[in-house]
Structure 1
Amino acid sequence: MLALFPGEAYQAHVLESAFAEEQYAATAAGMETALLDFEALTEAGDARRAVRGVSSIAAPVPALYRGWMLSPTQYEQLYRALAAKNWLLINTPDSYRHAHFLPENYSILAGSTPETVWLPVTPGFQIEQVFPLLRRFGDSPVIVKDYVKSQKHHWNEACFIPAASDQSAVRRVVARFLELQGGELAEGLVFRAYAALKPIGTHLRSGMPLTAEFRCFFLDGELLAEAPYWDEAEYDAAAAGSGSILPPPSLRFAGVARQVRSRFFTMDVAQQDAGG
């Protein structure tokens, strides 16, 4: 099996330092590793050049990409470029899109995640289009993101809306969010009911609230590993100061994970402030 990691920016022959430990672990596990020219793929749109450092092989072998986020279009380009060399990424382009875009998998997550609504942002989009969608939330708080990411590090100005009924606040926060996302906006806008999660601190640089969250890795519907989401917070210290932090309820989410139409994916889970 091949593990593909990104090279340093504009130095594709040098491993991106953030993935050094993971490359070491992959090699120790007996996997072949190679480097992706991330800029060639994402900026130049040249997938063949991006995988020029990957050798061709005679028969198909599974491959795993571990690196920076790609759009579904970029992922499909990478998938095809590797397949031409007989390396088959573990997730197909359709599987990647299904797990990548929240609206694609929300029907599976509903009941285990805050209520969510969305709409695509197309040419001619006006912020007034979101107001009917937000009526269901009444005066309750919501957060805004796109189909993939939020601007959580700009929490008060581009993520958190204290009352969904406050059209002035909605306009201000959504406009700022769209400004910050710019050309990287993924498809459209997503609004989610705000959930009060267990606090564990404040981000030192952005000031956003940090909560007890964990990232879980799944392969073929089975949990492989789980780890604290935030490197910036001491989970044990937070637990000592504000009560116990519960580990992710793996069994509760196992049924959900088995419905996700992706072989290998991550799921972020968080503890509610009221427990559970």
Structure 2
Amino acid sequence: MQFIFCADPFDIRQPDFDYVTEYEAVKSLGYQPAFIDFEALVNDQNAEKAVRKVSIQPTEQVGLYRGWMLTPAQYQQLFEALTKRGIRLLNDATAYKHCHYLPESYSIIAPYTPKSVWLTLNGELDIDAIMSLLHDFGDRPIILKDFVKSRKHEWHEACYIPQASDKTTVERVVHRFLQLQETGLNEGLVFREFVDFEPLTTHPKSGMPLTQEFRLFFLDGELIYVSKYWDEGNYAETDPPITQFCEVAQIVQSRFFTMDVAKQLNGDWMIVELGDGQVAGLPDSADVTAFYQSLLAHQLSSDVSSLPAQDT
């Protein structure tokens, strides 16, 4: 397997600061990661330049990107540029989009996740169309995000809406959200039912309520790593019902993805959202080496199982 990290913006021979720990863990396991120029890919829109320091492989290798989020179009460009160098990323662009954009996977996780509605933004904001979309929520609270991210650390001003029927508040929160997202908006707006999850603590900087949430990593339908989502708070003896979520993982249309899950006040568990495993962060408390050891063990097992049977 060829691991590919985002390079330091000032030195393409070194990993981006935020990925140094993962880079060192991969090296300690006997692998030599490659680097891509993230700025060339995103700012210059030049995928060939971005992969210029990635060695051309004599035979095709499976690749795993660990880096910053990309739009599906940017990911497609990276996928194609690496393929030309003999590296085929674990997830193709369709699989990446399937887990990266909530609306793409919603039909699969709908029975297990908060009710969600969305609209794509192509021009002027139509607040009446939004209120019509929110009708089924009644007076219940909702949260706002785009197809990928929320402004959860601006909880009260750009994320949480106490009453879905309150047009004034909806309009204020939506406008503030769009103002903060600026050109980073992903496709459109997603409104989700606010669910009372088991409280953990409040974020020390933003004051956002933190809940009993976990991040599950899956490779080829198999759970490879579980981590507490938040570094703050006391999780006590809480553990997610793994079997329940492993069943859902079988129908997710991606080889490598994350599933964030949280415990409700009534004791039941829900899926918060899915994410592409290559751009999903590892919490600070995660055992990075153990994560990569598990990933490699499952990948090697998958490679062996896919080999043709030998004549005896």
The TM-score by the shorter chain falls in which range? over 0.9
Q: Give the count of matched residue pairs.
A: 268
1:113-262 matched pairs, under 5 angstroms: 113-231=113-231, 233-236=232-235, 239=236, 245-262=237-254
Cross-structure match for 1:242: none
Report the TM-score, using the length of structure 1 for normalisation. 0.94
Structure 2 Cα separation of the partners of residues 104 and 4 of structure 1: 26
* Bigger relative CO (Cα 8 Å, ≥ 6 apart): 2
- 2:234 partner amino acid: Y
SS state at 1:32 partner: coil
- The whole-number CA distance in structure 1 between the counterparts of 2:7 and 2:211 is 32
Aligned residue in 2 for 1:267: 259
**What do residues 141-161 of structure 1 show as CA deviations (whole Å, max 9, x unaligned)?**
000101110000000000000
* 5+ long unaligned stretches in structure 1: 240-244
What is the one-letter code of the residue matched to 1:270? Answer: A
Cα distance, 1:186 vs. partner? 0.6
What residue identity is the alignment partner of 2:182? G
After superposition, the C-alpha distances for 1:160-219 in whole angstroms (9 at most, x for unaligned) are 000001011100001111111111111111000001111111111111111111111000
**CA RMSD of superposed structures (Å):** 1.2
Take 1:264 and 1:29, find their aligned partners in 2: how far apart are those partners? 20
**Counterparts of 1:209 and 1:107, CA distance in 2:** 28
Residue-by-residue CA offset, 1:22-41 (whole Å, 9 max, x unaligned): 11222233333111211111
User: What residue in structure 1 maps to residue 273 of structure 2?
Assistant: none
Q: What are the residue-to-residue correspondences of 1:20-169 with 2, within 5 Å?
A: 20-169=20-169
Deviation at 1:274, TM superposition (A): 2.5
- 1:201-251, Cα deviation, whole Å (9 max, x unpaired): 1111111111111111000111000101112x0334xx3xxxxx5212111
Using the alignment, how far apart are the partners of 1:181 and 1:36 within structure 2?
Answer: 25
Q: Counterparts of 2:30 and 2:206 in 1: how far apart (Å)?
A: 40
Alignment pair present for 1:5 and 2:5? yes
Q: Distance in 1 between matches of 2:55 and 2:93?
A: 22
Distance 1:176 1:40 in 2: 30
Give distance in 2, aligned partners of 1:273 and 1:220.
31
CA distance in 1, matches of 2:227, 2:233: 12
Q: Which range moves more in the overlay, 162-171 or 116-125?
A: 116-125
**Runs of 4+ deviating beyond 4 Å:** none
Seq. identity, %: 48
Could you tell me how far apart the structure 1 residues matched to 2:239 and 2:44 are? 42
Q: Any conservation in 2 of the 1:12–1:38 contact (CA below 8 Å)?
A: no
| Distance (whole Å) between structure 2 residues aligned to residue 32 and residue 252 of structure 1 | 36
Q: Distance in 2 between matches of 1:30 and 1:81?
A: 25
- Using the alignment, how far apart are the partners of 1:138 and 1:234 within structure 2? 33
Q: TM-score, normalised by structure 2?
A: 0.83
Q: Distance in 2 between matches of 1:88 and 1:156?
A: 42
Whole-angstrom CA distance in 2 between matches of 1:11 and 1:191: 40
Q: Output the CA distance in 1 between the equivalents of 2:198 and 2:12.
A: 40
What's the CA shift string for 1:96-125, capped at 9, x where partnerless? 011111110001101110001111011233
Task: Kindly provide the amino acid, as one letter, of the partner of residue 252 in structure 1.
Answer: Q
- Aligned partners of 1:127 and 1:174 also within 8 Å: no
Structure 2 letter corresponding to 1:256: V
